Amino acid sequence: MKPTLQAVADAVGVSRSTVSNAYSRPDQLSAALRERILDAARQLGYPGPNPTARSLRRGFVGSIGVLFTSQLSYAFTDPFAVRFLAGVGAAAERHGTSMLLVPLPPAVTDARRAVENAAVDGFCVYCVADEEWALDVIRHRGLPYVSTAPRDNAGADERYVGIDERAAARSAAAHVAGLGHRRVALLADSVLPDAPAGPLTVAGVDQVPHPTTRGRLAGFADAFAEVGVGWAELTVVNAPGNSRKAAAAAIAELFDQPAPPTAVLAGSDVLALGVLDALAARPAHDRPTVSVTGFDDVPEAAAAGLTTVRQPAEEKGRIAAELLLDPPADPAAGHVLLPTALVVRDSTGPVPRS
């Protein structure tokens, strides 16, 4: 058994308090005694105050939780999520705080429990799917949190950092519409819950539950509405899982149709890259000319020449963590909207004359 603080106190012949002070408040005792205590601790093999006991007594843990409402492995697969984590990490580093990554079991009951049991001082909630239940649990625990999306019913004291999804998406769609495209597919993750991969009929964009997806689809639709292409004329394609593979699989059949879309607007770069994969997989003679746009501007997008909407990923993570660790006095400052920019590359062009 590892010795406790009491054991060190006994060995030196001082009180427990004094040993505690030797570690946590060196100014509370003489340097000489402190040395004696630390020496004795070394001798006994005392590894320093037990972090858990210390956390209990002090009332805080010194770490923040990062919540992905999806498989934890997803966080490392999605390049945007990785950049986000890097930002959180940078802020955590500056504050001397650790990051706890909490995997969530698939069943909601279990997932709630996982959030309840996480030993953290607060949460950065990265919005993947509907995370309302997670926010409930966090609020219930009385912990502060920052989410990465503006929420419709956000309380005044609720902090978030996001972008104007709708306007950003609209800018990409306006670019594509401006190039003359009218037969267009919109590709997104989790358009409707539990929907299969592939083309999907969606009555209206407000049917889409996931706020981020909804915002982006709405932005796409806005731009096309302006050139006279209504929602019903747009093909919505579901790609569950937001992976390159899923996107390629979901979009593939469209290209076999007699009149394939001349443009695909994807809800993320990962999906857009999947579309490019699907195109590349076809023999050259049977490869339609399709404009493709992404969203996020992950590192891979530049290499692929993908036209996309840039949003500052690391910045998002950094600011999320900073809002959490160092809350602004003015609650209005807790709502951050980051700038986005359309980045035009080679993956979009005018409609081919056929």
Partner DNA sequence: GCTAGTCTCTGTATCGATACAGACTGGATC
Partner DNA sequence: GATCCAGTCTGTATCGATACAGAGACTAGC
Judged by the rule CB under 7 A, the positions of this chain that interact with DNA are 1-2, 4-6, 13-18, 20-21, 23-25, 27-30, 33-34, 48-50, 53-54, 56-59
232 binds a second copy (CB under 8 A): no
Under rule CB under 8 A, residue 96 binds a second copy: yes
Q: Is 198 one of the binding residues for a second copy (CB under 8 A)?
A: no
3-state secondary structure of 261: coil
Contact present, 207 and 192 (Cβ < 8 Å): yes
77 interacts with a second copy by CB under 8 A:
yes
DSSP secondary structure letter of residue 180: T
Backbone angles phi, psi at 63, to 5 degrees: -150, 150
Question: Which residues, at least 6 apart from 220, have a Cβ–Cβ distance to it below 8 Å?
Answer: 169, 170, 172, 173, 184, 186, 234, 265
- Between CA 166 and CA 187 the distance in angstroms is 15
Which residues have a Cβ under 8 Å from the Cβ of 20 and sit 6 or more positions away? 5, 49
State both tokens at 306: 């993908």
Rounded CA separation 18/148 (Å)? 44
- Residue 116 sits at φ, ψ, to 5 deg, of -65, -35
Beta carbon nearer to a second copy, 86 or 108: 86
Q: Which of 33, 44, 101, 338 binds a second copy (CB under 8 A)?
A: 101
45 lies in the site for a second copy, by CB under 8 A: yes
**Taking the chain, what is the end-to-end CA distance rounded to the nearest angstrom?**
79
Nearest distance, CB of residue 332 and a second copy, angstroms: 27
Residue with Cβ nearer DNA (44 or 101): 44
Looking at the Cβ atoms of 86 and 341, the one nearer to a second copy is: 86
Q: Which helix (H) or strand (E) holds 335?
A: strand 335-338
CA distance 352 to 280: 18
The minimum distance between CB 15 and DNA, in angstroms, equals 4
* 266 neighbors 285 (Cβ within 8 angstroms): no
Cα–Cα separations (whole angstroms), residue 15 to 11, 45, 244: 10, 18, 62
Q: How many residues does the chain have?
A: 354
| Interacting span for a second copy (CB under 8 A) from 52-60, 266-274, 275-283, 344-352 | 52-60
- 56 or 227, CB closer to a second copy? 56
For DNA, give the closer residue by CB, 2 or 285: 2
Amino acid at 3: P
Least Å distance, CB 20 to DNA, is 3
Q: Any contact of residue 326 with a second copy (CB under 8 A)?
A: no
Taking the complex as a whole, how short is the minimal distance between the CB of residue 44 and DNA, in angstroms? Answer: 11
* Beta carbon of residue 150, minimum distance to DNA (angstroms, whole number): 33
Which of a second copy, DNA, none sits in contact with 114, Cβ below 5 to 8 A by type? a second copy
Counting contacts by CB under 8 A, is residue 338 touching a second copy? no
Please state the closest distance from residue 60 (CB atom) to DNA, in A.
9
Residue 16: name its binding partner from a second copy, DNA, none (Cβ under 5 to 8 Å by kind). Answer: DNA
Contact, 308 vs 265, CB < 8 A? no
What x-and-dash track marks residues 23-42 binding a second copy by CB under 8 A? Answer: --------------------
6 binds a second copy (CB under 8 A): no
Contacts with a second copy by CB under 8 A lie at 2, 45, 47-48, 50-56, 61-63, 71-73, 75-77, 82-83, 85-86, 89-90, 92-93, 96-103, 105, 113-114, 116-119, 137, 140-142, 303
